[in-house]
């Protein structure tokens, strides 16, 4: 059994990393354990000296950490892309979301609109401004606390429309996911990974990073509402044939 690899990640990738960590332990004999929190919180921990082997964050946040010297040069790679989806409380009317006009109607009809502290929340606020709705919707926006899925505000009655990464909303009870935003209003985030400069075992961390970018990992990610980033380098185990 190899020594344990520790990792840090944002909440959006928490479930897929849990699935993959279990697979890597069973199939490759390497224990992997990720701690997940809001992306802003994870970046703060790294800035304050948190030690781990791997980190998985939205690519913009990871690029900032790389530029500051917190990651081993050349290890950063994109892994998965996640779309932002809209959701409503279970048992309420589900608005259509086939066009930009539908999205505008859904936004203007909502009493409270939940969004996250992560990159999807920032992109949603930017989209609302681009749709020239910022003044009309400003007092209706409710930001979920860091690390808390925006969808929980639906089930608790604090919002009647929510937007967040599909991976964070798809399994929440008490809500209905409508689907991704239409056409040119679509929002997606790329999540990337790298080996932290604080890693005590960078060689093994690189091997685990290869496994996170593998074909098998991309299938797990799809089941969790993400798709493979197009520039991810495929990894094949010895003896595995290319498909």
Residues of the chain with pLDDT > 90, as a percent, come to: 85
Helix (H, G, I), strand (E, B) or coil at 141: strand
Average pLDDT, the chain: 91
Both structure tokens of 168: 């964070």
For the packed helices 39-47 and 59-67, what is the interaxial angle rounded to 10 degrees?
10
Region 100-116: mean pLDDT is: 97
Of 196, 144, 149, 203, nearest to 173 by C-alpha is: 149
pLDDT at 230: 76
Write the DSSP symbol of residue 68.
T
pLDDT of residue 242 exceeding 60: no
pTM: 0.84
Which string of b and e fits 161-178 if b means at least 16 CB within 10 Å? Answer: bbbbbbbbbbebeebbbb
Q: Model confidence over 203-234: pLDDT tens digits? A: 999 999 999 999 999 999 999 989 999 753 33
Q: Give the distance between the most distant pair of CA atoms in the chain.
A: 59
Write the DSSP symbol of residue 31.
-
Phi first, then psi, for residue 4 (nearest 5°) are: -70, 140
pLDDT at 171: 86
Q: Model confidence over 13-71: pLDDT tens digits? A: 999 999 999 999 999 999 999 999 988 899 999 999 999 999 999 999 999 999 999 99
User: CA torsion 229→184→58→94, rounded to 10°?
Assistant: -100
pLDDT of residue 179 exceeding 70: yes
Write the DSSP symbol of residue 230.
T
Strands 77-89 and 54-58: unpaired
Alpha helices, DSSP H, located in 76-173: 100-109, 119-130, 134-137, 152-155, 166-169
User: CA torsion 129→135→139→141, rounded to 10°?
Assistant: -10
Q: CA geometry: angle at 192 spanning 116 and 214, to 5°?
A: 125
pLDDT at 231: 52
């Amino acid at each position: 059994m190899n020594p344990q690899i520790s990792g840090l990640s944002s909440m959006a990738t928490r479930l897929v990393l849990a699935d993959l960590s279990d697979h890597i332990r069973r199939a490759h004999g390497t224990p992997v354990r990720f701690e997940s929190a809001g992306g802003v919180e994870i970046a703060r921990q790294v800035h304050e000296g948190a030690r781990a082997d791997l980190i998985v964050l939205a690519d913009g946040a990871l690029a900032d950490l790389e530029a500051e010297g917190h990651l081993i040069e050349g290890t950063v790679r994109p892994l998965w892309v996640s779309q932002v989806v809209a959701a409503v409380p279970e048992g309420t009317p589900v608005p259509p979301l086939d066009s930009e006009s539908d999205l505008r109607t859904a936004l203007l009809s909502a009493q409270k609109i939940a969004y996250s502290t992560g990159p999807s929340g920032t992109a949603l606020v930017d989209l609302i401004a681009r749709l020239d709705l910022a003044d009309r919707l400003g007092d209706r926006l409710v930001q979920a606390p860091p690390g808390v899925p925006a969808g929980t505000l639906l089930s608790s009655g604090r919002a009647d429309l929510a937007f967040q990464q599909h991976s964070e909303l798809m399994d929440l009870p008490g809500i209905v996911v409508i689907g991704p935003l239409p056409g040119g209003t679509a929002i997606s985030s790329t999540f990337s990974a790298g080996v932290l400069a604080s890693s005590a075992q960078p060689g093994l961390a690189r091997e685990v990073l290869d496994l996170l970018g593998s074909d098998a990992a991309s299938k797990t990610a799809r089941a969790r509402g993400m798709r493979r980033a197009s520039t991810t380098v495929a990894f094949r185990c010895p003896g595995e044939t290319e498909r």
